[in-house]
Amino acid sequence: MKGIVFTEFLDMVEKEFGYEMVDHILESSDLESGGIYTAVGTYNHAEIVQLLTHLSIKAEMDPGVLLNAFGKYLFDTFLKVYPHFFQAVDNAFDFLKSIDNHIHVEVKKLYPDAVLPKFETHENENGTLVMTYTSERRMGALAEGLIEKSIVHYKVPYFVEKNTLNEDGSMVEFLISPQQ
**pLDDT tens per residue, range 94-123:** 999 989 888 888 887 877 887 889 999 999
Calculate mean pLDDT across residues 147-167. Answer: 92
Q: Determine how many CB atoms are found less than 10 A away from the CB of residue 61.
A: 13
Spatial distance between the Cα atoms of 46 and 6, rounded to a whole number of angstroms: 11
Q: Which pLDDT belongs to residue 85?
A: 86
φ, ψ (nearest 5 deg) of residue 119 = -125, 110
Instruction: For residues 85 and 56, state if they share a domain.
Output: no
| Helix or strand run (H / E) with residue 114 | none
Contact 150, 96 (CB under 8 A): yes
Instruction: For residues 38 and 111, state if they share a domain.
Output: no
Q: How confident is the model at residue 26 (pLDDT cuts 50, 70, 90)?
A: very high
Instruction: For residues 98 and 154, state if they share a domain.
Output: yes
Per the model's pLDDT, the better-predicted residue between 21 and 159 turns out to be: 21
Q: Which pLDDT belongs to residue 180?
A: 66
Q: Most confidently modeled of 89-98, 103-112, 130-139?
A: 130-139
Q: Which pLDDT belongs to residue 112?
A: 82
Q: Which pLDDT belongs to residue 135?
A: 93
Instruction: For residues 57 and 134, state if they share a domain.
Output: no
Spatial distance between the Cα atoms of 42 and 138, rounded to a whole number of angstroms: 18
The yes-or-no verdict on residue 29 having pLDDT over 80 is yes
Instruction: For residues 50 and 121, state if they share a domain.
Output: no
Question: What range does the domain containing 140 cover?
Answer: 68-178
